[in-house]
């Protein structure tokens, strides 16, 4: 699209955009760490405050594991049925709080179960993905025994146990090619830098502060948006809620590659250039193969980089939705359009002049060389292409309307851009 930029035009350029409401569907498989304080509901409330939507379901019996039978999601008929029955964007897995810190159970129980659950998610819905709920360490650390025969090394404090949990979830996510919601690392940040208490009285489960922080992390990961400034506080003091929002934002967006986030997901992005009444788009989206443009005036397009012509001056919300096979992302720019219309339409510093005539006939004058003239309709579709030779007058018959044009000169600079009215 850069080759279409005009020298001599007054161009308006913008990088500012805002994203569109997003709907995500997530199934949560875990235990009491997920159901205490209704973590999925907290995430949904944050999403609602942002204008987004979370469709969710869960299976979270107390004490459940991912792979230790008979209390294992990998073999549980309810969990497997829920995976198969829903068109999930994410299947969120939360392991029992001690197992990841016990290497023998991590390697023989947790990781094999996650491979089974990954295959179940893929077989039920080719677009489904695993997302790991990285949990937090016990408030005082200590030796963690899942059974008398399976214990961790002694942890001196919360931070040592958190190190072990983070390593385990990172290993599992890398093994299954999955993402991580780094809740435990957000807990670490808050515990290190504030006096906010996140653990409940038992030193294991979350209080409301801890669950709200977890929800902020999940909102950021699931929706790829910052939770900072969202109005939903779950009844916490506003300054506390804001601090937790900021902490979640910092951990998630500070280094998303560590958490295997968004590397292959669609990212909608575009620049635009306005030459009075004509909009030129430069598609910067990544990992996408289909595009849908809404120009804010009732016209749409599905081309990669359409050219659009506006009939009236104004400020228009131009939205690009860019998708891969499974996921879409959207972004919007506010575009200011200035329309000037006198029957003869031409551009400053352009040798081409377009004269409006009766019955939709357009005369192209004032050209002495060869070239190719291409006309586009309001949706950016090419409707006519003609060759100009030896400076001869060319007459192009078109339906009445307004058009954009590009003109490629032979051995000279190309020109393009303004709307043609008649």
Concatenating the DSSP letter of every residue in 399-422 gives -SSEEEEEEEETTS--EE---EE-
Angle at alpha carbon of residue 6, lines to 5 and 8, rounded to 5°: 150
User: pLDDT tens, 12-57?
Assistant: 333 334 556 889 999 999 999 999 999 999 999 999 999 999 999 9
pTM: 0.71
Burial of 298 (0-12, 13-18, 19+ CB in 10 A): exposed
Strands 361-365 and 353-356: antiparallel
**In contact, 84 and 120? CB cutoff 8 Å:** yes
pLDDT for 346 equals 39
Task: With a cut of 70, say whether residue 421 has pLDDT above it.
Answer: no
User: pLDDT tens, 285-307?
Assistant: 999 999 999 999 999 999 898 88
User: Which domains occur in the chain, in start order?
Assistant: 2-17+267-337 (2.60.40.10), 23-259 (3.40.50.1110), 345-421 (2.60.40.3080)
How many beta carbons lie within 10 A of that of residue 146, not counting itself?
Answer: 19
Mean pLDDT of 252-257: 95
For the chain, what is the mean pLDDT?
Answer: 84
User: pLDDT tens, 370-390?
Assistant: 777 777 776 667 777 777 765
- The CA distance from 137 to 282, in Å, is 47
Q: Is 82 helix (H, G, I), strand (E, B) or coil?
A: helix
pLDDT for 403 equals 66
User: pLDDT tens, 71-115?
Assistant: 999 999 999 999 988 789 999 999 999 999 999 999 999 999 999
User: pLDDT tens, 189-236?
Assistant: 999 999 999 999 999 999 999 999 999 999 999 999 999 999 999 999
- pLDDT band at residue 400 using 50, 70 and 90 as cut-offs: low
User: pLDDT tens, 317-374?
Assistant: 999 999 988 888 889 999 998 865 444 443 333 445 554 444 444 555 555 567 777 7
pLDDT for 395 equals 55
pLDDT for 419 equals 42
- The CA distance from 98 to 206, in Å, is 15
Higher pLDDT, 422 or 163: 163
């Amino acid at each position: 699209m850069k080759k279409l930029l005009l020298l001599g035009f007054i161009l308006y350029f913008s990088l500012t955009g805002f994203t569109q409401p997003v709907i995500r569907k997530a199934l949560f498989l875990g235990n009491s760490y997920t159901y205490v304080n209704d973590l999925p509901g907290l995430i949904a409330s944050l999403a609602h405050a942002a204008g987004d939507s979370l469709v969710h379901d869960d299976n979270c019996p107390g004490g459940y594991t991912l792979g230790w039978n008979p209390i294992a999601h990998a073999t549980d008929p309810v969990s497997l049925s829920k995976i198969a029955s829903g068109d999930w964007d994410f299947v969120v897995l939360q392991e029992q709080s001690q197992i990841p810190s016990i290497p023998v159970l991590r390697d023989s129980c947790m990781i094999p179960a996650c491979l089974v659950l990954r295959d179940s998610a893929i077989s039920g819905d080719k677009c489904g993905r695993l997302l790991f709920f990285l949990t937090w360490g016990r408030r005082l650390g200590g030796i963690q025994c899942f059974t008398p025969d399976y214990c961790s090394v002694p942890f001196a404090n919360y931070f040592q146990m958190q190190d072990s949990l983070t390593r385990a979830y990172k290993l599992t996510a890398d093994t299954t090619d999955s993402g991580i919601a780094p809740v435990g690392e957000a807990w670490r940040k808050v515990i290190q830098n504030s006096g906010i208490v996140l653990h409940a009285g038992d030193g294991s489960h979350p209080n409301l502060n801890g669950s709200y922080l977890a929800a902020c992390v999940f909102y950021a990961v699931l929706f790829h948006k910052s939770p900072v400034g969202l109005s939903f506080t779950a009844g916490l003091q506003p300054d506390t809620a804001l601090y937790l929002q900021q902490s979640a934002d910092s951990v998630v967006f500070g280094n998303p590659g560590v958490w295997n986030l968004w590397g292959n997901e669609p990212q909608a992005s575009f620049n635009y250039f306005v030459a009075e009444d004509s909009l030129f788009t430069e598609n910067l989206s990544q990992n996408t193969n289909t595009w849908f443009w809404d120009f804010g005036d009732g016209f749409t397009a599905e081309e990669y980089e359409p050219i659009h012509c506006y009939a009236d001056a104004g400020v228009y919300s131009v939205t690009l939705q860019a998708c891969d096979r499974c996921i879409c992302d959207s972004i919007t720019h506010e575009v200011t359009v200035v329309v000037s219309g006198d029957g003869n339409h031409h551009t400053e510093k352009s040798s081409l002049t377009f004269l409006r005539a009766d019955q939709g006939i357009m005369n192209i004058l004032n050209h002495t060389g060869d070239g190719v003239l291409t006309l586009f309709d309001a949706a950016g579709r090419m409707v006519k292409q003609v060759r100009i030779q030896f400076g001869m007058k060319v007459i192009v018959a078109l339906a009445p309307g307004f058009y954009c044009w590009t003109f490629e000169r032979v051995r000279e600079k190309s020109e393009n851009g303004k709307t043609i009215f008649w």
